[in-house]
Each structure stands twice: as structure tokens, then as C-alpha cells.
A = this chain, B = another copy of it.
Amino acid sequence: METKYSQKKKSFLQEFKKLLSFETIGADPACENAMHLCAHYLQERLTALGLESQLINTPNHPLVFGSNCTAGADKPTLLLYQHYDVQPVDPLELWDTPPFAPTIKDHRIFARGAQDNKGQLQYVLQALELFDKKFPINIKILIEGDEETGSFGLSSILEREKELFKADFLSVIDVGMKAKDIPAVTLGVRGIATFEISIFGPKMDLHSGSYGGIVKNPLQVLSALLASAYKEDGSIAIPGFYEDVEEVDKEPLDFSFDENFSKKITGVDALGGEQAYTPLERAWLRPTLEINGMHGGYTGQGFKTIIPSSAHAKVSIRLVKGQEPQKMLQLVKDFFKKCCPEGVSIEINLHKGGGRACQACPTSLFTQAVKEAFSEVFKAPCSLILEGGSIPITTALAEASKAEPLFFGLGLLEDNIHAPNENFSLDRLEKGTYIVVKLLEKLKKAFL
């Protein structure tokens, strides 16, 4: 396998750079064309790998689907889930190299999507290539274009295409490990729900001298509303926020947390969230409410003494097992509407998409196969972890495809996903390839 990999290394890297060069920011309407070009490019790659491929149109971006089910009805079917859309790139000025001009430095490739998820998609495609069109099991692969914006496209066509997606196992290769030498498989991810909250005050910006003390300031109101959602101990003050949280068996999970390493990556101490829990309990087992963006008034050079006419915030809730996105959004909406004072108006725009948390079984054949593949490639025992992030579509996709889901991947904190200078190490690109190859072979054996 290693020899074959080194023979193909150059062409692998060439294709990877090509994949990374598409400006596939799903949230940005200006990237519409790049999204289409990338989807077509991926469809061609799937065909070249020996899969029957197609683009499936959705109300949002197209998804790319491929399958090769020639292994036989007695063999299991693995549905591989990936995505080709990426996060926005700003603040652009903090990137050392342009986000869509992939650059290799110190055995790492820097680009938006280098890890999330184009890097992890690339090693899946590399693994499939190593089989030379003769797959040990039946393969389906689904590459969506709306993951970072809530998977609205995929969720819209899920019911219609459930036969197409039908599988025994669903691998969601969009997560990571705790450290580069400690392999891990992820049993679950948090769910997510997002919304925007706007406060509207005077019908135009007003002079803060003439009106300071006369009208309510929307930025002051929004700050106070957001602040009121948090208690002193870091917990969320919104009534019912924790009501549906289900207990999770903590026993198989590795909650160890390297404070020093985390501080090295983030530059700050792990002092956020509910102080009654350890850092990884907070990130894995507890729902959170985060302000992702906020703006209002004059934010340019110098100063402008105004009372702004409006103020805006983008907020996301991470959900854990038991919590329903729509119910949680309604709870939060009701809270802010009730707390909003007179003299301004409030508008809360709940986003489509989002999804429930998803948790896999720690002892299944599938989990065991993935654990073994990781252990063998890393030559170290594989631990079980959870992920604080979300792959919103997973629960619904697992239900539609009737497949057992599992999350894994070779992401690391240092990859800077969703941030400037996102990167992925070439070493892990290779290891990931081997893990996927081994997984396919192990699933074949398990069904002999």
C-alpha cells in the first residue's frame, strides 16, 4: 500500500491542490459558480475512480453522489459522507497565504478547506483510487455543498432519495483526534441551531448628543439582552435550556484534556462555559449558546457620535442528545422577545437547517473496525471521544439511509479550521488514506 501511495503521491497532491482552489464558500452568493464547477469536478473524479456518479440538484447547492455496488449483495454497503463547501475566509488580512491558493510549508498544506472537509475528502478519494476500481465492499459516497450553512439542500431531498442513499454503515469523516499521536474515533457530535437577532430603534442613526438620554440605544439593548442569557456561573439563564438534556454513558469516553496544549493553540485559558463541568464535559455533553458575530453603529476609522438605528447579532446554539433544534430555537426566541424592553423593536430570524446531536454505539462491529484501522495505522490504542462541533445532517441522514453512523477523521486543533491559515499535514493525508483502505477491507472480512 505504501509503495503504491508513493507512486501516486505527486498526482494525489496535484488533484488536492485543484480541489482546494475552488472558492466554495457556500454562504457567499458570489461563489455560486465556483460551487458548480467544484461539484462537476468531483463528479468527474468519482467517475474516474470507477463509480457511477451524478449531480443531484437541491434547493441550495448541488450534491455529488457516486456508487459502486458490484461487490455483491452479500457484502455490506458503506455510505461515505463528505462536503465540498467551506467556511468564509475573513478576516482575510490574517492569512499568511491566499486561502484559495494552496501553499505547502513545513509538510503542511495551507488553504481554506485544507482539512475541513476537502482534506478529509481527498484521502477518502485517494483510498478509493488505491483499489483500482475493485472494491472489497459496496461503496456509496455523498459529497454535499451545504454543510457549513446547515445542510438545507441535502435535508430537502433526503426523503426523496432515501433508496439511493441506503446503506449498512455511514461514515462521517469530518472530525478529528485529540492529539497527533493519539488515534480516536468519535462516537457523537453536538447538534446545532442558528438565528439572527436584530434590535431596531430610531428610524435613522441619531446624534448621540441631542438624543443621548432621550431614545433607547439599540446596541445597549442588544448587549443587555445577550448578557441576560448567561448566569454568573457560565450556565445559560434561558428557562428550559437544559430541560431535555439526556444523560450519556461517560465510561467509554476519554475526557482527559491537555490544558497546556489547548492554551498553546488558543492563547487563552479554558475558562468558558459552565464552571460546574470539566472542559470536555462542557464541549461534549452540555449545550452552549455562542455569539458568533455582532455589529451596529459606526465601526470605521475614528469616531462617529451616533445612536445607531439598529444592532444585530448572529447566535448559534449547540445541542446535545435529547434536544430538538426547533424547540430550542423557540425557547430562545421566546426568552429574548419577552426580555426586550419598550422603545425598540426586536426581530429574530430563525435559520433553516441545523440538526440534532448524534451518538453512535461504542461496541458495534462498525466502531470496532474503525478503531482497529486507526490503531494499526497509528500503532497505538484508539480511544473513544465526542466532538463539540456539529454535522447537522447526520441524524437525519442515518435515519434516511438506515445506516449505522460513526464519525471519525484526522483533524487536529492546530489545523485552524473555520479560522485564518487553515491547514492539514501531508502525513495525515497519507495516514487517512490507509485508514480508509483498511476499513473497507475489515468490513469485508467481518461479513465473510
Quick one: which of B88, B215, B217 contacts A298, CB cutoff 8 A?
Answer: B88
- As for how many copies of this chain the complex holds, the number is 2
Q: A227-B223, A388-B209 are in contact. Are A306 and B294 (CB under 8 A)?
A: no
Q: Which of A264-293 contact B (CB under 8 A)?
A: 266-274, 277, 279, 282-283, 286, 288, 290-293
Report A169-212 CB contacts with B as 1/0, cut-off 8 Å.
00000000000000000000110101000000111111111111
Cβ-defined contact, A288 with B213, below 8 A: yes
Q: A269-B343, A279-B214 are in contact. Are A293 and B293 (CB under 8 A)?
A: no
Is A413 among interface residues, defined by CB-CB distance under 8 A? yes
**Least CB distance, A331 to chain B, in whole angstroms:** 17
Quick one: which of B230, B298, B308, B318 contacts A220, CB cutoff 8 A?
Answer: B230
User: Ordered nearest first, which 7 A-B pairs have the shortest CB separation?
Assistant: A209-B389, A27-B302, A271-B343, A203-B267, A213-B273, A213-B282, A293-B297
Quick one: which of B215, B305, B313 contacts A316, CB cutoff 8 A?
Answer: B305
Cβ-defined contact, A27 with B304, below 8 A: yes
A175→B323 CA distance, assembly (Å):
57
Q: Which of A294-345 contact B (CB under 8 A)?
A: 294-308, 311-314, 316, 318, 341-344
Residues in B with CB closer than 8 Å to A192 are 209, 305
Residues in B with CB closer than 8 Å to A302 are 26-28, 88, 149
- 20 intermolecular pairs with C-beta atoms under 8 Å apart: A27-B302, A148-B305, A202-B267, A204-B267, A204-B419, A209-B388, A209-B390, A213-B388, A214-B270, A215-B269, A220-B226, A222-B223, A223-B291, A224-B230, A272-B307, A292-B305, A293-B306, A295-B299, A306-B418, A306-B419
Residues in B with CB closer than 8 Å to A219 are 226, 291-294, 313
Q: Among A213, A294, A390, which residue has the most Cβ atoms of chain B within 10 A?
A: A213
Q: What is the chain B residue whose CB lies nearest that of A194?
A: B303
Is A54 among interface residues, defined by CB-CB distance under 8 A? no
Cβ-defined contact, A290 with B216, below 8 A: no
**Least CB distance, A413 to chain B, in whole angstroms:** 7
Residues in B with CB closer than 8 Å to A416 are 204
Cβ-defined contact, B343 with A205, below 8 A: no
**Least CB distance, A61 to chain B, in whole angstroms:** 12
